[in-house]
């Protein structure tokens, strides 16, 4: 079976056909190869790498250099999978010019196929300018982790009538500005479904219910690899954290017992040569 590269056109076609889009976060070459082989449509090199790769309490300290380093290691593994790289905090908020420059760096140096940024009407000038430069943009609404301090914590968004109306207006605004997809994070499922039905572009939900056009999870969350906290929406599809810990412990045990390395893991040397060394 020939699998063609997933592009913005694939996303539009999948929405039109009612086919669900699968996305996962990823931050390294080896894991990206596995995700591509599994057939995910797109990988997000998320600034969540601040939490799950760097052990930071939030995403605020993640830099452009971080995103480029992790992004290009993922991109090297992806032949069919679309690679979206997150624009980190303060790489696009200050000015439209900076936003375009930094989006361009994620494409040129990070080898992204698209970039993602957080916010609604306030960042529409940036979305317009970046897309005008030929760079596809994924927008992100609802719980926007770069605004964690302004939101007063990582909490479900859009629950009141006013907040829900604002979210709908922002969703229409980012679509109008040129975004080709919209991430909806931590909003009530009925609201996500309503937004999905109102939009021509696909919605990708995380904690936003099954009514979205696609889903995304942080891969450490879905594999049981991240134990600092588990969001309600993060289903564990495997318990690899425990598996890995067991393997590490077995290694420690075998090293201590002297049973690793065994003969099959060892290089031999010609005895005559060896004798001359004594």
Residue 215 binds ligand KIV (CB under 6 A): no
13 phi and psi angles, rounded to 5 deg: -65, -40
Smallest distance from the beta carbon of 183 to ligand KIV, in angstroms?
5
Q: Which is nearer to ligand KIV, 66 or 185 (CB)?
A: 185
Smallest distance from the beta carbon of 257 to ligand KIV, in angstroms?
41
Contact 227, 241 (CB under 8 A): yes
Smallest distance from the beta carbon of 207 to ligand KIV, in angstroms?
9
Count interface residues toward ligand KIV (CB under 6 A). Answer: 12
Smallest distance from the beta carbon of 68 to ligand KIV, in angstroms?
15
Q: Which is nearer to ligand KIV, 143 or 164 (CB)?
A: 143
Q: Cα(36)–Cα(274) distance, rounded to whole angstroms? A: 47
Smallest distance from the beta carbon of 47 to ligand KIV, in angstroms?
5
Q: Which is nearer to ligand KIV, 42 or 191 (CB)?
A: 42
Q: Cα(126)–Cα(113) distance, rounded to whole angstroms? A: 17
39-47, 151-159, 163-171, 194-202 -> range binding ligand KIV (CB under 6 A):
39-47
Smallest distance from the beta carbon of 177 to ligand KIV, in angstroms?
19
Residue 25 binds ligand KIV (CB under 6 A): yes
Instruction: Characterize 158-197 residue by residue with b for buried, 16 or more Cβ atoms within 10 angstroms of its Cβ, and e for exposed.
Output: beeeeebebbbebbebbbebbbbbbbbbbbbeebbbbbbe
DSSP result, 202-259:
PEEEESS-TTSSEEEE-HHHHTT---S---TT---S--HHHHHHHHHHHHHHHHHHT-
Catalytic residue chosen out of the listed positions 185, 239, 254, 264: 185
Which of 206, 212, 223, 225 binds ligand KIV (CB under 6 A)? It is 206
Q: Cα(270)–Cα(192) distance, rounded to whole angstroms? A: 69
Q: Which positions from 128 through 187 interact with ligand KIV, judged by CB under 6 A?
A: 140, 183, 185
Q: Which positions from 42 through 81 interact with ligand KIV, judged by CB under 6 A?
A: 44, 46-48
| Paired residues of 206 in beta bridges | 185
271 is catalytic: no
Q: Where are the beta strands (DSSP E) in the chain?
A: 21-25, 42-45, 82-86, 114-118, 137-142, 181-185, 203-206, 214-217
Contact 44, 22 (CB under 8 A): no
Q: Which is nearer to ligand KIV, 14 or 219 (CB)?
A: 219
Helix axes 64-75, 96-108, angle to 10 degrees: 30
Which of 36, 66, 86, 170 binds ligand KIV (CB under 6 A)? It is 86
Q: Which is nearer to ligand KIV, 218 or 225 (CB)?
A: 218
Residues engaged in binding ligand KIV (CB under 6 A): 25, 44, 46-48, 86, 140, 183, 185, 206, 216, 218
Question: Which residues are catalytically annotated?
Answer: 185
């Amino acid at each position: 079976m020939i699998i063609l590269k997933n592009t913005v056109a694939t996303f539009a076609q999948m929405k039109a056909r009612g086919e669900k889009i699968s996305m996962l976060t990823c931050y390294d070459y080896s894991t990206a190869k596995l995700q591509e082989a599994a057939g995910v449509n797109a990988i997000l090199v998320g600034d969540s790498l601040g939490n799950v790769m760097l052990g930071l309490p939030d995403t605020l300290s993640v830099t452009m250099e971080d995103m480029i380093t992790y992004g290009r290691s993922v991109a090297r593994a992806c032949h069919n999978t679309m690679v979206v790289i997150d624009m980190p905090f303060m790489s696009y908020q200050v000015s439209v010019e900076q936003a375009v420059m930094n989006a361009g760096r994620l494409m040129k140096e990070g080898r992204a196929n698209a970039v993602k940024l957080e916010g609604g009407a306030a960042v529409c000038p940036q979305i317009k300018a970046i897309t005008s430069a030929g760079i596809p943009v994924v927008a992100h609404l609802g719980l926007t982790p770069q605004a964690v301090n302004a939101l007063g914590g990582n909490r479900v968004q859009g629950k009141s009538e006013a907040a829900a109306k604002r979210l709908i207006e922002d969703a229409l605004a980012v679509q109008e500005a040129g975004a080709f997809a919209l991430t909806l994070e931590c909003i009530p499922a009925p609201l996500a479904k309503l937004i999905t039905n109102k939009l021509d572009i696909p919605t990708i939900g995380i904690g936003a219910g099954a009514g979205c056009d696609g889903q995304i999870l942080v891969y450490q969350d879905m594999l049981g690899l991240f134990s600092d906290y588990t969001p309600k929406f993060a289903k564990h599809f495997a318990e690899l954290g425990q598996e890995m810990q067991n393997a590490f412990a077995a290694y420690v045990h075998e090293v201590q017992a002297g049973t690793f390395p065994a003969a099959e893991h060892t290089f031999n040397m010609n005895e005559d040569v060896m004798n001359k060394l004594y």
